[in-house]
Structure 1
Amino acid sequence: DAGSGVEEMEFNWDEYLEDTGATAAPHGSFKHVDTSLQNGFAPGMKLEVAVKSDQNTYWVATIITTCGQLLLLRYDGYGEDRKADFWCDIMTADLHPIGWCEQNKKILKVPEGIKEKIADQEQFLQQVLKGACSAPANLLEGLHRGKNPLDLIAPGSRLELQNFQDSLEAWIVNVVENVGGRLQLRYEGLEDSDKFDQWIFYLDPFLHQVGWAAQQGYDLKPPLAIRSLKSEADWQEILKKVKEEEEESSVPTDLFKDKPVIGVHSFSEGMKLEAVDPLAPFVISPATVIRVYDDKYFMIEIDDLRPERTTSQSYICHVNSAGIFPVQWSLKNGLHLSPPLGYPGQDFDWADYLKQCGAEAAPQSCFPMLTSDHGFKENMKLEAVNPVDPEEVCIATVTKVKGSYLWLQLEGCKKPIPDCIVSMESMNIFPVGWCETNGYQLRPPRKAIVNKQKKIAVVQPEKQILSSRTVHDGLKNQELNSSDSVVINGKYCCPKIYFNHRCFSGPYLNKGRIAELPQSVGPGNCVLVLKEVLTLLINAAYKPSRVLRELQLDEEAAWHGHGETLKAKYKGKSYRATVEVVRTADRVADFCRKTCIKLECCPNLFGPQMVLDKCSENCSVLTKTKYTHYYGKRKNKRIGRPPGGHSNLEVAMKKPNKRRKRRKHFFVHKKKRPSTSVDNTPAGSPQGSGAEEEDDQDESELSHSLAQDRDKRKRKLRTFSFSDDENKPPSPKEIKIEVAEKLQLDSNPLEWSVSDVVRFLKSTDCAPLARIFLDQEIDGQALLLLTLPTVQECMDLKLGPAIKLCHHIERVKLAFYQQFAN
């Protein structure tokens, strides 16, 4: 697709939420995702631990709390006394499941601190271990030690999947891929075909460990959809082979302990209800219970009154299945109920329909109470599976909320679909950022601006350097081939814009990055082509934010073209500004030349003209240290740094004594730089590097004395202000005082809520960062796990503020170990 280079840009959730003004659905609303992140250990579990004072003896300990791969333990016998609680790392500590000492002839001995409390060791152990839950052995020993249980479902593992359309039979499936608990499953016997693959979350009630069907008394048979692909003998042979290899590919049974438990239902055959077809969840329709298997499972069918129908939409349900409602549910919630196919007339009435069918409505007591305790609201964003193509995960917008159901509009699907009806308990919806976290492709939204006729063709540069003649001949052919489109679009069609990377790139643009750009962009609509060119140039700069400021529309300049908002990212901060772009083809060459002059590079660096062997400007003799001469700068200017204002050849020649232009309004809070050399820059608002701040102060004229120039700089600095008083950085003196103070905590940081963490930060000189902790929902446990690299990466902080923040975190850790750990 010719336009894909422009349309399918890298997707960023933060920018998307900012552009749409939407909010993300809260992470706590996705219970299945929270469960998948747990490490398999839970408070209350017991294990056998080496006694610190005597490494050859062990004693029983209880898990008090978990924090990643750290466990807070308390020896049994201390009761509620927490003074001897201690932390252990699963990967390094000598930890074992209950019964390990007995099996390995190791000694269980009461630790010194509680010897007096325990008179009879044997009797005490019998008492505390009665009905106790041992920590999972597979997570304490062997290859799986310290691993997240989810990682144990590796590709090649085997599971049993219930048929959810035909009958209660099940069949073996192989795990092809595990994406954060979302499994791509392939039916055993179809190793070479992905046509019938299923995508299911590992906690789905229809997915079980191998052996489940035999335990429950169900048959192991392939589903009807694939049964005809092989003979009965072949399927039996496959089953025999699987049973022989069962040990190698089995998944630990305790992995499914968090699966929802299926309750007992009270439906009977012939009952009517309202239902959503799980394979096409777009409408609510009348449905009938057509079969009851046992007290757990029953089959329903979407009603279809057409006499000529050949297929039926039936599927197996249990009492907690999503998408089944009592009669009149749609009416009570103000929703449209889609009449059965073949129903005479448009106005559907349940009373008439029940009388006509001679059926009864399923009573309200058959349906579980719907929860309304959730955090979903209209217009919130999340990630959701496309029900038509379950391999796709798309951006979803909540368009409606009714009871415990959401109506989701999916963006970026290969084929557009209506709003989907999804339960809030569904395991096919995920929080914002889930795909990125798990390395899975999220379908990006389609850009409405670019249409089929106006796509930009991006031609990648050739790997080898071609001779000028070859390039020239190729270019002629390209021009001939594209001549039709130029005629069709007339004066608004931009010709190809070439990046001539051998030309002088100036002080702002990185020559290496310019060389990596496409050979050309276009032809196409002028505004679209030039916007793409400018975006590529901004991203090829040493400091993208600086180039954006140079290109920004000067408010004093005459308006001749079309204003486009461009963005730049620099050091984790986002910048945006309005840039003037010409709309007609006759002005493109002049626009490109003037933009080059603004950026102080060769006027032929990019434009409609392709430079073959030698640039007409003879720019090859220039280097980064000679650009001042090229653009007619005064000799007293510092060499080697890009100048601050616009000073190109034309301006310098016309007005040699013109003072620096008034600074443009750049939509970024800039920070006041303190007069001392200490870096007290608070994080929180976008900024450039130190050199960039100095660039902003490039003033000096020959006629001014040094003292006057310094005064002017001070006045200029005073015009910058902080966004609020909280952001004012403390003086070095204040910092020294705080460092010297020993921190005394009133409560255990492990029990701190997000609000407690924010309250603590606001009492330090890192108060401006409190908002980040609130947004990221960092509580006390998470705070204790933060390190300098994590803080820098995840919070996009500069080194100075990150070090300060980590200093306070280390103080909390130290106080925690001194006051609470022992």
Structure 2
Amino acid sequence: MDCVLKKTMSSNNSMAPAKIRGPGRPPKKTVSCTWCNEGKQPLKYVLPTTSGKKEFCSETCLAEFRKAYMKGACLNCDNVIRANSSGNKDYCSTYCMNKHQKKSEVNSKIASVAPTTAGHFIESSFDTFQYETYQAFNWDEYLKQTNSSPAPLDCFKQAVNPPQNDFKVGMKLEALDPRNVTSTCIATVISVLGPRLRLRLDGSDNKNDFWRLVDSSEIHPIGHCEKSGGMLQPPLGFRMNASSWPMFLLKTLNGAEMAPSKIFQSEPSGPRTNLFQVGQKLEAVDKKNPQLICCATVGAIKQDQIHVTFDGWRGAFDYWCRYDSRDIFPVGWSAKSGHPLQPPGQKNSTGSNRFKIRTFSLPSTTTPASATTNNTVSTTIDVQSPEADTSAPPPPPIVVHLRKSCMGGPLIDSSLLPLIIEDTSPVDLAKKLVVELLGASNKPDVVLARLGSLQGEEMVVTHEGTSYTIKLPGLQKASDLEGVFTALVTSLGCCSQLFALEHIKRECVMCDNRPPPTKRKTPAEQEAATSTTPTDTPLSDSPVSSLNKTPPQEWGIEEVIQFIESADPCLGVHADLFRKHEIDGKALLLLTPDTMMRYMGLKLGPALKICNLVQRIKGRRHSM
């Protein structure tokens, strides 16, 4: 009794100096950077992982952590396995190894009792980011656990029974450009997941893929736009010159597999008013990772808008949408349609969390998940990066300079080539160069045949959705590209000065004997597609010829307006817009169609014309 009393008194004495707090929230635990443990800097970078999330003070710390995380993470606590950690490659410490082994023993006993029961998750090393098997999510159990109710079916603009998906990878269709919904473009089915399609606009890159349901009103069979009196448009950010779009369209559709009209389905009717209530559960697409459908809750309602909050995540992925959005689904839709469902995240969890796929505030991207579904047990989601890890500071890129004023020969229109191509890998750079040559060729099949007959290493390049095998001299380092240039020049008959690893300002002596181009009275857009030579062009005959003596980056606002008006009088109506946004010479050289349409309010046609003028003066500037 005395011992107990003394112990109690001593504990009371030790607590006496502590400051007595009133009712309220406990003090926040100081949070430090996951990588460098610095606690004074604000943690602006977040990486969701199996344990919830990791926070970092800088991009460098995030990159270093992610690089180490890709090599291996502790199977018990999901922390990085550092070089000075335990010798075991699967655990960060002996403590974690022992704890995980005990957990595995318990799981093995459970498995021996009920061998048909699927485990919650399968542990594996992190050779790729990320393989994971999920058990079918039990909504009934979760609703009871959270004491919540699902949103009724009549709240959603979704079919009662999920539509059947008969699309195949590689099929062509028409789709609205999600970044410019007034344009109808050609799209290719990149992957299929349940009743959803991952689409890529032809002429765009893989960074702008998007997802649509098979019963979406924004996709149609080829020919629908023309029947409706419309015209197919190049996607926003079209990688080639706008004037080459008609020919590109013909090449794209020639021999392609068109999606048959019978597999397109009508969009279901939706509710006339917002019937949602705060607190109701639903399934929703994660806008930051649109391949994912996750457990969510209606967090707030404002007229026709609902606030979608993802369960277990502190608002990092929440968003507002209309009540009739096609990105929200009733509870159980994923299980019924065969689409994977991401279970709720676990706030402040130290254990393993099945929600591993998210990427947030990262410099690199991952491909959307390709999933195979099992009707009885589980769904496997495979998320891999198609490219090398770019999280660490990359080596300086290798740059190939293209002299657009040089002759491209009988197969290449050199005016359609970019000014530079760059990549950190000599092999990837050579592939990019070949792809650009194919895009600028009037006979790409002949180019492919000639490159396929060369001596060297086999490489696979993709042109307009189809893969081809070519041969080029071996590439180990940047200087080996000179051999590639020689092979291309010899086989394609173009000027030997068309490619170079260094920018050369002087005129090409190989092309000096060409007859000067005849003056043309075509629109500025056509001129930009057919000529970039600084001599004897219509610009020199205009009142703005005095600007030729001044570098474009030194132009003022009025000089920029004068240049645009003289090049195309129709563009003069946008002069006030250039004054409003203070577009001087430096700003002019940075303009892109996307920038002009999104921030300046220009339509696609004028934006493309101005972009062609910009490319034209860039070519003139580099050829000086």
Question: Normalising to structure 2: TM-score of the pair?
Answer: 0.30
Question: Normalising to structure 1: TM-score of the pair?
Answer: 0.24
